[in-house]
Chains A and B, each alone.
Chain A
Amino acid sequence: MALLRVTSPHAHGPASTPRVMQKVLLATVPGIIALTHFFGFGILVNLVWACIVALACEALALALRRRPIGFYLRDCSALVTATLLAVALPPYSPWWLIAVGVACAILLAKHLYGGLGYNPFNPAMAGYVILLISFPVQMTAWAPPRGLGQLPGFMEALQACFWPPGYDGVTMATPLDLMKQNTGLLMTDLYAQTPQFGRWAGLGWEWVNIAFLAGGAWLLYQRIFTWHAPLAMLASLTLFAAIFYDGGSSASGGSPLFHLLSGATMFGAFFIVTDPVTSAVSVRGRLVYGAMIGALVYIIRVRGNYPDAVAFAVLIMNFAAPFIDNYTRPRTYGHKAGG
């Protein structure tokens, strides 16, 4: 029998890209459960529909690019993109909104740039921002959380997605909107007078963030990514919020805890900032990358025109990642610093 001729190493570690992607998917489960609990079935409808569209788009793109479809579909990266976009979109969004977002993410942000690994921008966030700019009304229509109104049932959720004219849902400003619009109230009064606020941050939102934090912590424990970028982001966000939090005046911009548990903070820190493809690669690079995203999130939230800022902050830093890489190369063994 002819002996196999291959080069070393002949052994391979347990890690595999599909498995990494599957673990990321698994880690979104707590967040999805929290979202569903507080905002109803709309999230699940988003999720399933987004996954279907994503697989179709991925298969189409692979076919056009003449790649083996089955092999690349199995890497699960399209499902991850779809999931991340689906949980970021408002529940009870119409089907076309989701489809456009997913198609932009997969076809434009990913495959147009050469597919997985070559995309400079995070596909989910690119899709999100395209939608936010094109359809601001639909994109800011968040349903009220459990406790502030009647949650739609499952059939209503389906109707909201696939036959939007037949659905008439209630929407309500999110805590981040309220914080931005607040002009006269002290923080304590704002929390006391507005039903959308909970114990630390927005009602429901605080638990959604804690759930995503739990998923992220599990990924960290599984060594799917390193702590550098997410912790740097959270640290710099906390730092900025603390610096400008003057004891809770109306112009304070919200406490550090409010920012940590609001909007897409935890989701962004553990599921978006950690996207390896579009972040910086070295340890120092990831620290810089995460910290700058944290700073941008705070600045855009408090000073910018959009209520939440994670998507914008991430896209801006996606731009900067190659430069960060260039200036944060680790010192090679046996070289002087800077070599």
Chain B
Amino acid sequence: MRKIFDFHGGIHPPENKHQSLQGSIRDAGIPPELVLPLSQHIGTPASPVVAVGERVLAGQLIAEAPGFVSVPLHAPTSGTVAAIEDRLIAHPSGLPAPCIVIATDGLDEWVEQRAPGTGYRELAPGDLLALIRNAGIAGMGGAGFPTAVKLATRPDSKVQTLIINGTECEPYITADDILMRERPGRIIEGVNILRHLLSPSETLIGVEDNKPQAIAALRAAAAGSSIEIVTFPTKYPSGGEKQLIEILTGRQVPSGGLPLDVGVICQNVGSVVAIQDAVLFGRPLVSRITTVTGEAVDKPGNYEVLLGTPMSYLLTQAGYQPDRAQRLIMGGPMMGFTVPDANVPIVKTSNCLLAPGLTELSAPTPAQACIRCGMCAQVCPASLLPQQMFWFAQGKEYEKLEQQNLFDCIECGACSWACPSNIPLVQYYRASKAEILQLRREHTRAEQSRLRFEARQERMEREEAARTAKRAARKQAAEQRAQAAAAGGAGDEDPIQAAIDRAKAKKAAQQAGTGGTTSEREKLEKTVLTTRARLETATAKLQQAQAEGSDLADALQLGVDKTRAKLETAEQALQALLESDSPAPVTPADPAAAAIARAQAARDAGATSSPADKARSQLEGLEQRLEKTRDRLAASRNNGDEDKIVEALESTVVRLEEKVSAAREDLKAAGDT
């Protein structure tokens, strides 16, 4: 017998598993519509590769993984893409998220499936991993971490123990149990693929001792192999990855580390079967086994469900009685979350759909005072002191909370379950975690903008220095020119041509500039619009939650604040862009035409008068212009206009100053002659 270890704490809630273990796995069928969220996993959401109206076949790629920590998405059955839009999904926040909606055609036509089959042994590890990644597999035990990422070991790290998690410690859920009972052969095949990929020194399948049938089935299927089925006493949350690793190996995953740090890779039995499907049959992950149970359904059991199936469809199959239900829980009673609406879809991580009867689960009762009884600390599998964390969470003492290792809390809910005063402890920890993360983000952002500010300051100083140098150089040049002019008579450049050229260049530049910014403006405007819409929905939700007194209000409040901040930034950016787009201080209707007219007038005037008169009128004109530009510059500075504008005005002033002094020289020269 292998030595097994115990972990600290844990509880023994009523199991309530027999209800859903009455029959075997049933097929839930093809619903008329499938709603596939682009993000059913942890990481970057998938990006669609199909268009609305396109016909898709079962198993066809409909969204690809844009990054390493992401998984692609496949059509679960054949049909037409009806929409790509935001829909309500099963997420604790209760907010809508982008989904691909498929109107099914009931034919269930598959794309041609190509697979290496048992030839996978010839594949390089990288190719095998790619196969798993392309099948869209994400952890099916609940968290939904991309499986291929979890399996991608560094070359220098040795996998000592491969652990297959068949614990399923949470009450009510039997999806893994039934899978182990009915498909043990596929599990073992999948495990063999993983063993080939990882070459671990030992392979263990951990199952709680309350599943004797599953244990027997696995033992029979694994007979003759070195895969070991290890059983241990039932206790919640022994199925937590960290807890299971401790039970089977006695090792603890370091805080903030990965199982691989202690030589372990952990996979859920559901994911193992999905891997087997992908490698042997080329079947991507398009369906899963979901437990439907609770007193509000007449036919509790396990269903093979196409991903994207609306819950309401599945519930109907299971004989749901809405008048008997008071809430719908995605997941189990300990860690599951309530869904806002019965139409949200089943996703890759939906292991259970719990529809408890009106009195089945304790109604939220008002919390009493914490009597520091320590029950919570006794049951905490992370060996935390929940009552101390509760104390600090109430006082929003975030530093102390982090000292208490708040982030090692796995949110298992054991403390809340055991607390005699009914304090919703986990809720406090979740909210505090969210707030601390938010503060950290803000801190980084502040730090970044400080750096940006300093960089800008430096750049401006540098530019100022460069400008001064240039000015000095120009002045010198002007003086030289003046001397040259004085020496060689009147300048021979044509002022009209020069003005025309200048104005044309300016106009061209402006048009180019406007053209460039228009698209950006559109983008910004769109952002503002969508963000505003999102803010409105979120606010409405928040109000509803507050009205209902739901304890999600805190989380929603956070979301609303964030969205509002985003909206403000977007609006400001748009405002800034619009302002810089219309350079108010400078332009008359058509600057080029006006400049030509002015220059012509000047020339006409100049042509009929003596060189001295000409020089004088030129000087006067220039002086006027200089005066005007100076005023404008001062106004601009006062208004705190954009740097660009101020700088442009500054350089104009400098240029005019030079011209004025040149004109003075001219006049002097003309007067002299």
Contacts and interface: CB of A to CB of B under 8 A. Distances in A.
Do A and B come from the same complex? yes
B364 A6 contact: yes
Interface in A98-149: 115-118
A333 B333 contact: no
Interface string A60-79: 00000000000110010100
Contacts of A277: 371-372
A7 B253 CA distance: 27
Chain B interface size range = 35 or more
Contacts of A4: 326-327, 338, 550
A116 B384 contact: no
Contacts of B430: 7
B364 A75 contact: no
26 contacts: A1-B322, A1-B323, A3-B326, A5-B327, A5-B340, A5-B552, A6-B327, A6-B338, A6-B552, A7-B552, A8-B329, A8-B337, A8-B413, A9-B426, A10-B327, A15-B420, A17-B422, A117-B370, A276-B374, A281-B372, A281-B387, A330-B377, A333-B242, A333-B381, A333-B383, A333-B408
Contact of B369 (A3, A9, A116): A116
Contacts of A225: 373
Given A3-B325, A3-B326, 13 more contacts: A3-B328, A7-B338, A8-B335, A10-B327, A11-B362, A17-B369, A72-B368, A116-B371, A277-B372, A333-B382, A334-B254, A334-B408, A339-B255
Nearest to B405: A332
Contacts of A330: 8, 377, 383-385
Contacts of A282: 374, 377, 385
Contact of B420 (A20, A115, A226): A20
Contacts of B256: 334
B374 to A, nearest CB: 5
B341 interface: yes
A329 interface: yes
B408 A13 contact: no
A333 B340 CA distance: 34
A19 B373 CA distance: 13
Given A13-B11, A277-B372, A334 B252 contact: yes
A10 B381 CA distance: 18
Nearest to A331: B383
B408 A332 contact: yes
Q: Which of B366, B371, B378, B416 has the most CB of A within 10 A?
A: B371
A335 B409 CA distance: 12
Given A7-B552, A276-B374, A325 B420 contact: no
Contact of A12 (B362, B384, B405): B362
Given A5-B548, A9-B426, A10-B336, A281 B381 contact: no
B420 A8 contact: no
A276 B372 contact: yes
Contact of A281 (B388, B416, B419): B388
B388 A325 contact: yes
A13 B13 contact: yes
A16 interface: yes
Given A5-B545, A115-B369, A17 B417 contact: no
Contacts of A281: 372, 374, 377, 385, 387-388
A2 interface: yes
The range of chain A's interface size is 35 or more
Contacts of B421: 16-17, 117
A71 B408 contact: no
Interface of B: 7-8, 11, 13-14, 92, 94, 171, 242, 246, 252-257, 322-323, 325-329, 331, 333-342, 354, 356, 361-362, 364-366, 368-375, 377-378, 381-385, 387-388, 404-405, 408, 411, 413, 416-422, 424, 426-427, 430, 545, 548, 550-552
Contacts of A19: 420
B419 to A, nearest CB: 7
A57 to B, nearest CB: 17
B361 A10 contact: yes
Contact of A3 (B253, B342, B387, B422): B342
Interface string A312-339: 0000000000000100011111110001
Contacts of B416: 9, 12
Most chain A beta-carbon neighbours within 10 Å: one of B336, B375, B404: B375
Interface of A: 1-13, 15-20, 71-72, 75, 77, 115-118, 225-226, 276-277, 279, 281-282, 286, 325, 329-335, 339
A218 to B, nearest CB: 17
Contacts of B378: 226
B336 A8 contact: yes
Contacts of B372: 117, 276-277, 279, 281
A79 to B, nearest CB: 14
Contacts of A334: 242, 252-257, 382, 408
B356 A333 contact: no
B236 to A, nearest CB: 10
B377 A276 contact: no
Contacts of B373: 17, 20, 225, 276
A12 B418 CA distance: 7
Contact of A5 (B94, B322, B365, B377): B94
A7 B424 contact: yes
A279 B372 CA distance: 8
Q: Which of A281, A286, A330 has the most CB of B within 10 A?
A: A281
Nearest to A16: B420
B482 to A, nearest CB: 78
A3 B338 contact: yes
A330 B337 CA distance: 30
Candidate in A7, A18, A339 with the most chain B CB atoms within 10 angstroms: A7
Contacts of A276: 371-374
B417 A3 contact: no
B337 A7 contact: yes
Nearest to B12: A13
Given A3-B341, A15-B419, A332-B408, A8 B333 contact: yes
Contacts of B341: 3
A11 B374 CA distance: 19
Given A277-B372, A282-B377, A9 B385 contact: no
A72 B368 CA distance: 8
B543 to A, nearest CB: 13
Given A115-B369, A225-B373, A334-B242, A8 B334 contact: yes
Nearest to A1: B322
A10 B359 CA distance: 12
A19 B420 CA distance: 8
Nearest to B541: A5
B338 A333 contact: no
A183 to B, nearest CB: 44
Contact of B383 (A1, A116, A332): A332
A333 B388 contact: no
Contacts of B369: 17, 72, 75, 115-118
Contacts of A13: 11, 13, 417-419
A163 to B, nearest CB: 38
**Which 8 pairs across A and B sit closest by C-beta, in order of nearness?**
A9-B413, A117-B369, A334-B255, A4-B327, A15-B420, A276-B373, A11-B333, A12-B362
